[in-house]
Structure 1
């Protein structure tokens, strides 16, 4: 009898804070392959080489340079198969609403992220119907 090995989904996590990236990788790493990026440009570089196998993008909202909402919009257009999740420590409702409307965000998570919340949202994202750009 052969054992069937389940393939782990690939998640890209984008945050300019190194500790946040390490924490996320620990929270999700046992169930998912986690690729880490320190900013939007680095995330896009990862997606250019690995985009076909990436299932989920989780990005911080406020980062130096390009913000998460800009990244989400570009990913929505170029990689519509990727489920997009926004993380924020700031409750700027107008900016968040704009990000949701332009990037078709699956969920918004507030920092600090709990391990249980990360696992629950990622599990939901892997079974979510695909969001399509308008």
Structure 2
């Protein structure tokens, strides 16, 4: 790597659907290092190892076991430097807006995710100014 080239930001993507994980990684392109997790526990294991270098966590809302909003709530407390994005294919009523208002979620995205949407949101998330409870 040349000195003028910047290191890629690290993103953790959490989804119980394997195809969704592969599609997200492909959509992020070569601009980001994408670490994939199939559930909240695997995501937390990744964060325990790599949390200091992770810039963004993107998670599906509905997954077996812990749902994505619960995962992001924990991430907001343990890793406040990480930008948190929630993805859903469902209109989950009051739970989703409440997560945003509580400061636990930077953005909510609806599935299916388009390549341009993924790239735009990741660019916005990695450019967002740091705040104590982002």
Q: TM-score, normalised by structure 1?
A: 0.93
- 1:83, 1:131 within 8 Å by CA — same for their partners in 2? no
2:76 aligned with 1:88? no
1:5 is paired with a residue whose SS is coil
Q: How many residues align?
A: 133
The structure 1 segments of at least 4 consecutive aligned residues displaced by more than 3 Å after TM superposition are none
- 1:83, 1:125 within 8 Å by CA — same for their partners in 2? yes
TM-superposed CA distance for 1:103, in Å, is 5.2
Q: CA–CA distance in 2 between the matches of 1:4 and 1:73?
A: 36
Q: Which residue of 2 aligns with 1:127?
A: 127
- 2:81, 2:133 within 8 Å by CA — same for their partners in 1? no
2:34 is paired with a residue whose SS is strand
Gaps of 5+ in 2: none
Moved more, 124-133 or 13-22: 124-133
Moved more, 79-88 or 2-11: 2-11
Computed over aligned residues only, the root mean square deviation of the Cα atoms, in angstroms, reads: 1.5
Equivalences for residues 1-134 of structure 1 within 5 A: 3-102=3-102, 104-133=104-133
Gaps of 5+ in 1: none
Q: CA–CA distance in 1 between the matches of 2:11 and 2:133?
A: 20
TM-superposed CA distance for 1:76, in Å, is 0.1
- 1:73, 1:102 within 8 Å by CA — same for their partners in 2? no
Q: CA–CA distance in 2 between the matches of 1:44 and 1:131?
A: 22
Q: TM-score, normalised by structure 2?
A: 0.93
